[in-house]
Every structure is written in structure tokens, then in C-alpha cells.
């Protein structure tokens, strides 16, 4: 399964109209922190893009339609994410509006989304590998589905998460960008296999349900993770410890003596 633009694009996009003024766009940049916006007509079709660079030395009352870029690179939601990344890299664009066959805006894909797709990703290949491992070791049939799981019902299989990583996961949840978690469902219990930072972030952000890959395992077998859960005494996401004072092990902070 290849990654598609629709899996990582932002659907809630801030846009402007052709008649929007330079002053209004500047105000929008200051309030949102974004450096540009798609321009939509009354039918919701993308007719241009206005960036902070387009605003330089322009009168405050000038309309967007007079200075916006009209020749645009756009993406389709079914497009392979790697192809979208190649377009951005070769053209020097950091984001591409995603449109349907009528040119109506569906979302926006950015270079940050491409990077995010490669970080702590619940890759379908990872899920398939877990499925085959359980089937081989226990000689059972495992079914995989995609659905929603209640955060309060999740039983963790790791005891700690890192606070710095948690901040990024909370941001993704609030933006609707969070990856699916991976869960083993067995005898009515939901064991969280992958996505502990996302689960803790969801609990802190008040998110009740998470998208998940769900592996249904027969209740007649005992998994190694069940023994681990019993040994550690962890029963819910609330039992996961958040490590506040040390960074994620992949993060290294260096200090230089600037006086030398």
C-alpha cells in the first residue's frame, strides 16, 4: 500500500477571496502564522495563491486578484505522496493545494506533511508483519480492520512516554493530523501496541476516540504482551508515566561555548 496525498493533507484550510485586500491578508498572516493562502472563487475553486512575498511593497487596499499567482501546481488526493514530494522539491514549492476534478479545494499538502509521513508512521507493512508474526507463533487466523477505538479502553504495553514528543502529538491531534494507532483486540480487551504518545496526547487533549488498525486475535491464546501487562500492573493510558526532564533518546541538544 503506497501512501496517498489524502492520508496526510490538511483538510481544514484557511483561504481568501479574490476581493480580499492586502491589509486583510497581512492581518491573517499575523494571526495564523501562515505565509500564504489559496484563493477561492464563489464556487470554491482554486483560482490563485497569495504568498507573503506577493505582498511586498503593495498598497494596503490592493485586491488579492491583482497580485496573486495564477499559474499553480496542484495535487490530487489519490496522488502518490512521493510524487507530490517530487513536485514540491523540483519546483521549490513548500505546499500544494489539493483539488478535485472540478478544481475545487479539498485540502493542502506541505513538505512538513511529507516529513511527518516518515516519522513514527503506522505503516500498513508494520501491521501486516505483526499479523503474520502472531499467526505463525500461535497458529491462528488474525483479522485486520480499520476503525475507531475508545482511548479509555486502551491497555498500554509500554509504561513511559517523553514529554517533548507528546507536544508534537497533541499539535497533530488538534490539527486532525494524527496517525492511526495499532491495537490488538482480544476477548473484549484492547491492547495498545503502537501509538502510546498519541494515546496519552489524546487523553490530555480530551479526544475520546482514535483511528486505529485493529487486529482481532482469538481469545484462546495468551500473548506475550498480556504477561507484560500483568507484570507491570498497567491497566489504562492513565498509568503511562510522562518523562518530563529528559528528551526523547533520538534528540541530542548540544551547547557551544560562543566565547571561543
Domain regions of the chain by residue span: 5-116, 124-243
Per the document, the length of the chain is: 260
Alpha-helical segments (H) within 15-106: 22-32, 81-91
pLDDT value of residue 245? 60
CATH of segment(s) 124-243: 3.90.1530.10
Q: What are the mean pLDDT values of the chain's consecutive 10-residue runs (260 residues total)?
A: 82 95 96 93 96 95 96 93 90 92 95 70 77 91 94 92 80 76 93 91 91 93 84 88 65 44
Grid cell of 101 as nine digits: 476534478
Q: Beta strand pairing status for 209-216 and 181-186?
A: parallel
- The three-state secondary structure class of 37 is strand
CB contact at 8 A, 196 and 240: yes
Secondary structure class of 216 (helix, strand, coil): strand
Q: Which uninterrupted H or E stretch holds 202?
A: helix 196-205
Give the pLDDT score at 61: 97
| 124-243 and 5-116 share a CATH fold | no
Q: Work out the burial of residue 224: count CB atoms within 10 Å of its CB; fewer than 13 is exposed, 13-18 middle, 19 or more buried.
A: exposed
Q: What is the pLDDT of residue 118?
A: 65
Over residues 88-136, the pLDDT tens digits come to: 988 888 899 999 999 999 999 988 778 767 655 566 778 888 999 999 9
What is the rounded CA–CA span in Å between residue 158 and residue 174?
24
Whole-model pTM?
A: 0.55
- Strands annotated E in the chain: 36-40, 46-51, 95-99, 105-110, 143-150, 154-156, 160-162, 181-186, 189-194, 209-216, 241-243
Q: Which residue has the cell 499538502?
A: 109
Mode of pairing for the β-strands spanning 189-194 and 181-186: antiparallel
Q: Are 194 and 181 in contact (CB under 8 A)?
A: yes
**Residue 118: left (phi > 0), alpha (psi -120 to 50), or beta?**
alpha
CATH superfamily of 5-116: CBS-domain (3.10.580.10)
> How much is the pLDDT for 229?
85
Amino acid at each position: 500500500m503506497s501512501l496517498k496525498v489524502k492520508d496526510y493533507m490538511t483538510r481544514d484550510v484557511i483561504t481568501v477571496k479574490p476581493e480580499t485586500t492586502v491589509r486583510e491578508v497581512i492581518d491573517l498572516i499575523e494571526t495564523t502564522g501562515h505565509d500564504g493562502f489559496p484563493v477561492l472563487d464563489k464556487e470554491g475553486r482554486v483560482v490563485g495563491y497569495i504568498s507573503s512575498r506577493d505582498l511586498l511593497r503593495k498598497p494596503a487596499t490592493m485586491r488579492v486578484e491583482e497580485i496573486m499567482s495564477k499559474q499553480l501546481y496542484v495535487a490530487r488526493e489519490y496522488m502518490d505522496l512521493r510524487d507530490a514530494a517530487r513536485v514540491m522539491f523540483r519546483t521549490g514549492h513548500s505546499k500544494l493545494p489539493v483539488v478535485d476534478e472540478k478544481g475545487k479545494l479539498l485540502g493542502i499538502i506541505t513538505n512538513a506533511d511529507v516529513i511527518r509521513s516518515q516519522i513514527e508512521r503506522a505503516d500498513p507493512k508494520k501491521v501486516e508483519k505483526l499479523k503474520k508474526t502472531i499467526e505463525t507463533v500461535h497458529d491462528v487466523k488474525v483479522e485486520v480492520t480499520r476503525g475507531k477505538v475508545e482511548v479509555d479502553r486502551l491497555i498500554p504495553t509500554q509504561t513511559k512516554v517523553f514529554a517533548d514528543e507528546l507536544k508534537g502529538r497533541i499539535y497533530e491531534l488538534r490539527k486532525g493530523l494524527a496517525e492511526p494507532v495499532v491495537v490488538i483486540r482480544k476477548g473484549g480487551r484492547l491492547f495498545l501496541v503502537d501509538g502510546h504518545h498519541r494515546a496519552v496526547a489524546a487523553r490530555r487533549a480530551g479526544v475520546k476516540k482514535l483511528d486505529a488498525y485493529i487486529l482481532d486475535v482469538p481469545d484462546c491464546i495468551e500473548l506475550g504482551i498480556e504477561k507484560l501487562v500483568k507484570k507491570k500492573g498497567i491497566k489504562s493510558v492513565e498509568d503511562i508515566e510522562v518523562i518530563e526532564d529528559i528528551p526523547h533518546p533520538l534528540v541530542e541538544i548540544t551547547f557551544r561555548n560562543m566565547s571561543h
